[in-house]
Structure 1
Amino acid sequence: MATTKLKGNEVNLIGNEVNVGDTAPVVTVAAKDLSDVQVGGEKGKAQIVVVVPSLDTPVCAAETRKFNEEAAKIENAEVTVVSMDLPFAMGRFCTTEGIENLTVGSDFRAKDFANAYGVLIENGPLAGVTCRAVFVINASGVVTYKEICPEITEEPNYDGALAAAKDATSTSCCGTCQ
């Protein structure tokens, strides 16, 4: 069972553990306008999937602003921030913060994303929401980078995630040839 920490206290993560080299599960989350947003799978471009507990916290807000800024610099990539926030709250956050270079997706309906990617917190004060994580998926739908942040209250390794995203967009290989 995977774990992370919340303010130094270990919490368990449940769901299907996805690792580098795995095919990224295709999951539907709700956009800020309640339309469907597909995350994972083969899209013909790189995907950066940023997982946060809630946009309504300083660390999650800072992380989302950073990925919004950096997303505009990466060609042939899309960034989706996934949390359990209600779509309306996500929309308000994006409007207030000027978030325009990424998509937000709410996993509030059935926690399908959290379970499919193994990022659902099982115990502790944040039980039932997602931990802090970043997945990079290449154009062929394969996970090329994974970071489950060791401490939920701390920001991810931006340099590592962004370098992996650039690498995931820099190849013309579909990943199926040997």
Structure 2
Amino acid sequence: MASIKLGGNPANTLGELPTKNTKAPDFTLTKSDLSTVSFSDYEGHNLVLNIFPSVDTGTCSQSVRQFNQEAANMKDAKVLCISKDLPFAQQRFCGAEGIENVEMLSDYKTGQFGEDYGVTFIDSAFESLLSRSVVVINKKGEVVYTEQVQETADEPNYEAAIEALMHA
């Protein structure tokens, strides 16, 4: 269990992020067109998993915008923006914001991603949503960087994630 903050108040997740230098957990998520995608679909690519509670909050939407901008310059890498938002909300946001360089994925169907990556809130006002985290995975499927933001209202360390990606 990870102890973090939500609006300055204690909040906990059901587990811990995957450990650096270990195989990343498999996942199956839902794309904006309601099709499913799995970890194996990204084989041979470096991945940045931008995990957050909801695209309808200021910090979450800013993280998608920032990673969208960063992704435009990435080679052999994909940025996956993952939340429990319905795919319709994700698609609406991307259309309104002109987001084209990241993939929006939803864990709304089963919540298994949040469980396997240890990021599901188990208490607080955000109970059952995903905590703001970043996981960088190399082409071999190994975790090379993780960050679980200690105050949910804060943005992740974009520079550290991109740096880890460059050395993946």
Classify the TM-score, shorter chain. over 0.9
Q: Counterpart in 2 of 1:71?
A: 71
Residues 16 and 116, structure 1, Cα contact 8 Å, conserved in 2: no
Matched, 1:136 2:132: no
The runs of 5 or more residues in structure 2 that have no matched partner are none
What is the alpha-carbon distance in structure 2 between the residues aligned to residue 36 and residue 29 of structure 1?
Answer: 6
Letter of the 1:125 partner, please give it: A
CA contact (8 A) 1:24 1:41 kept: no
Alpha-carbon deviations, 1:131-173, whole Å to 9, x = none? 00000000000000000001100000010001111111xxxxx
Q: Is the 8 A contact 1:64 1:81 kept in 2?
A: yes
Mapped pair 1:46 → 2:46? yes
Q: Does 1:154 align with 2:117?
A: no
Moved more, 68-77 or 38-47: 38-47
Quick check: 1:144–1:164 contact (8 Å CA) kept in 2?
yes
The letter for the 2-side match of 1:127 is E
Deviation at 1:120, TM superposition (A): 0.2
Deviates more, 1:14-23 or 1:131-140: 14-23
Matches of 2:124 and 2:4, distance apart in 1: 11
Q: Distance in 2 between matches of 1:135 and 1:17?
A: 8
Indicate conservation of the 8 Å contact 1:24/1:40, yes or no.
no
Equivalent positions of 1:158-173 (< 5 A) are: 158-168=158-168
Contact 1:49 1:135 in 2 (8 A): yes
Long gaps (5+) in structure 1: 169-178
Q: Secondary structure at the match of 2:167?
A: helix
Deviates more, 1:79-88 or 1:41-50: 41-50
> Over the residues paired in the alignment, what is the CA RMSD in angstroms?
1.4
CA positional deviation for 1:39: 3.5
Structure 2 partner of 1:124: 124
Map of 2:33 onto structure 1: 33
Name the % identity: 39
After TM superposition, which residue ranges in structure 1, 4 or more long, deviate above 3 angstroms? 39-42
Kept in 1: contact 2:17–2:148 (CA 8 A):
no
Spell out, residue by residue over 1:73-104, the C-alpha distance to the aligned partner (whole angstroms, 9 max, x if none). 11000110000000011000110111100100
Which residue of the partner structure matches residue 99 of structure 2?
99
Contact 2:83 2:105 in 1 (8 A): yes
